[in-house]
Amino acid sequence: MYVMNGAGNRFAIFDARGRSFAMTADLARRVGASGGPLGEKGADQIIVLLDPPIADGSAQLYMDIWNNDGGHVDACGNATRCAAWLYMRESGQDSMAIQTAADLLHASRAGDLSVAVDMGKPRLEWQDIPLKEAMHTHHIDVKVGPIDNPVLSNPGAVNMGNPHCVFFVDDIAAIDIKRLGPMLEYYPLFPEQANIGFAQKLAEDHIRLRVWERGAGLTLACGTGACAAVVAGVRQHRLSRMCRVDVDGGRLGIHWRGTDDHVIMTGPVELEHEGEMAL
């Protein structure tokens, strides 16, 4: 078992390759809980590394992802970097691929403790987010506050393997994310709930971002959220395709390539602990 973080986003990672092991919602809640086996910080997500379901060489790992509320999810960008780093340390390789429920993701070493991941193309159609109603996703119909003078409005919607709703705000410090996040996560427009991002533009290529993650709450970083924020910002003509994204736990580099529309995320990883855990 490994405890790692990617820009502060903390994971308990279990290597179950070649073993008979199945994570459950109850076990994920117990492992991830604050004050549980991982101490006061707990874990934002619980990751299980498995052998690829199809042994054709296209992927070296399958990554199974659980939130600390017991929810099963399809994608996690920061966890992908951590899992890729573990495999590359083990194998001595500088690149590899991870299969998730959302997609096949290719990763490469970007430094001793830095990994770049090709997160693939963002999904931008309303039914792919998904939303309950047909609408353009550059700006979706979500408002907070009085209808004629909302506090928050016109977010962008992006699916990066999981659904994101991104608001651009003037002052991120003035936003009560712990109050608004849970309400917006379950907004009726989102049939599968959504991760809620709050982004402040610092420059055309630089934003400050905080994300309320569905099933995990306010985390120090959200890799798919950083990707979604840059995509949403480009679509709203706010940002350039290559951006620095400052999160509570560090900095991520996001590049939404114009050549193939793939989103490349580069960021740090940290190994906090490795050992065994009695389950």
- Report, as residue numbers or ranges, the catalytic residues: 76, 222
Distance CA 274, CA 80 (A): 17
Give the residue from 21, 2, 22 showing the smallest Cα distance to 13: 2
The enclosing H or E element of 66 equals strand 61-67
Task: Give SS3 for 223.
Answer: helix
Task: Give SS3 for 168.
Answer: strand
Torsional sign, CA 98, 99, 101, 103 = positive
Distance CA 38, CA 32 (A): 7
Distance CA 248, CA 218 (A): 10
Distance CA 48, CA 17 (A): 9
The phi, psi pair for 179, rounded to 5°, reads -90, -45
Q: Which residue has the tokens 């430094």?
A: 111
